[in-house]
Amino acid sequence: MELIQTMLINFIMLGLFYSLIALGLALIFGVMEVLNFAHGQMYVLGGFVLFYFYGKYHVNYFVSLIICGVLLAALGFLFEKFLFRQVIASEKVTHSGSFLLALGTSLLLEEGALLAFGEKARGVPPVIQGIAKIGSMSVSYSRLLVIVISLFLILALFYFLNFTKIGRAMRAMTQDKETASLQGINVRQLSSLGFCLGAALAGIAGGVMSPVVSFSAGSGGPITTKVFIILLIGGFGSLVGAIAGGFVLGFLEAVGFALFPSDLVMLIIYAVVFLMLMFRPRGLMGKVFRE
C-alpha cells in the first residue's frame, strides 16, 4: 500500500512538473516553429538563480521564483530579438539555420553555466519542513509545494491564453501565422512574448524543483531530452498535448523507477516513443506541419 501511495504522489508531482516545463517549449514552438534546444539549460539557470537568491542570500522563496521568471524571460527576449529573429527572417524555405542556432545556444548556455558555476551539484533547503497527511497518504511538504505551484502556473497559463486578448491572439498565431497577421495581429511582438514566456516557464520550473532534486551545469541536456520525449508523445504545437505527454512520462517514471532498474525504465520509455513514432508520428494531439 505504501508503495502505491509513493507511486501516486510521484506520478502527480512529475506529471505536473513535466507538463509545466514542456508547456514552455510547446509555446515557443507554437508561435515560432523553433525547437529551443536550450530549454533544459534555461531550466538549469532557473535552478541556479533560486540557489543564489533563496539558498545563499535568503530572499523569500516566492520572490526568488519571480526573479527566476523575470531573468529567464529577459534572456528569452534577448535570444529571440538578436538571434532567432534575425535568422528566421533570412530563411526562405528551410529551418536549418534556426535549428543550428538552437543547438548553438544550448551549447553556449551549458558551457557558460559550467564556467560560471563549476561542475558541483547544487540544491537548496526545503521551503517547508515536515510531512503532510492526506487521508492515509503521507507526502513531504516540498513535493506538495511542487504540485501546488505547478498546477497554479499551468492553470494561469491556460487562463491567459483563453481569456485575454493577447493570449487569444497568440493562440491564433499557433494555428495560422499568416492569417493572424492579416487580421492585424503583431506577429513579431507576440513571437517575442511567446519566447519570453517559454523561457520564463523553464526557469521557474528549475526553481520549483531545486528544493526537491539537485542539479548541476550539465543537467540541462537530460531535461531537454525528456521535454522532447514529452512533445513527441503529446504532439508538437499542442499545449494540451504537452500536458498529456508530461503525465505519460510522469506515469512511466513513477511506476517504472519503483518497480524496475533505472536502465530498464529508460528502455521502456524509449520503446513507447518508438511506438508513437511508428503508429502516430504527430503524437497524441500534434498539429500538421506546414511545408
The domain segmentation of the chain, as residue ranges, is 2-219
At 281, is the secondary structure helix, strand, or coil? coil
The model's confidence at residue 70, banded by pLDDT at 50, 70 and 90, is very high
As a whole number, mean pLDDT of residues 247-273 equals 91
Q: How confident is the model at residue 289 (pLDDT cuts 50, 70, 90)?
A: very low
Residue 92 pLDDT: 53
What pLDDT, on a 0 to 100 scale, did the predictor assign at position 87? 79
Query: Which tens digit of pLDDT belongs to each residue from 11-53?
Result: 999 999 999 999 999 998 888 878 889 999 999 999 999 999 9
Q: Of the given ranges (99-108, 174-183, 208-217), which has the lowest mean pLDDT?
A: 174-183
Q: Using a pLDDT cut of 70, give the percent of the chain over it.
A: 95
Percent of the chain surpassing pLDDT 90 = 52
Q: Which of 112-126, 142-156, 198-212 has the lowest mean pLDDT?
A: 112-126
- Please give the model's pTM, rounded to 2 decimal places: 0.90
| More confidently predicted of 184 and 218 | 218
227: nearest Cα among 36, 84, 32: 36
Residue listed under C-alpha cell 535568422: 87
Max mean pLDDT among 6-10, 176-180, 248-252, 255-259 falls in 248-252
pLDDT reported for residue 253? 94
Segment among 25-29, 55-59, 278-282 with least mean pLDDT: 278-282
Mean pLDDT of the chain: 88
User: What pLDDT sits at residue 290?
Assistant: 47
